[in-house]
Amino acid sequence: MPVFEYLCKECAQEFELLVRGSAAPSCPACGGQELEKLMSLPRVKSSATRGVAMRAAKRRDAKQARDRMHERIRYEQSHDRHG
């Protein structure tokens, strides 16, 4: 049973839908039946793509940790002056 991506021409909602047999799909938001089937991009997972995702996640986590530390330092400095 394939999953297809659709765009409802009535409410402009994009959604994925599992299509069974010859059932006519309808928009889950408005119930409209005037739909455009969208091109779905394949999703590939490999050790290379996993490595790229892990490096990106580590960079994001490091940046968030730096931002939290800077905010903590600013907070402590502002309270030391007023305390």
Q: Please report which confidence band the pLDDT of residue 9 belongs to, taking 50, 70 and 90 as the band edges.
A: very high
Q: Give the separation between CA 66 and CA 23, rounded to whole angstroms.
A: 52
Q: Where are the domains of the chain?
A: 3-38, 45-83
User: Which of residues 76 and 44 earns the better pLDDT score?
Assistant: 76
Q: What is the pLDDT of residue 23?
A: 80
| Dihedral over alpha carbons 2, 7, 10, 11 (to 10 degrees) | 110
CB 6 within 8 A of CB 36: yes
In this predicted model, what pLDDT tens digit does every residue of 23-69 receive, in sequence order?
A: 888 999 999 999 999 887 666 778 888 888 899 999 999 999 999 99
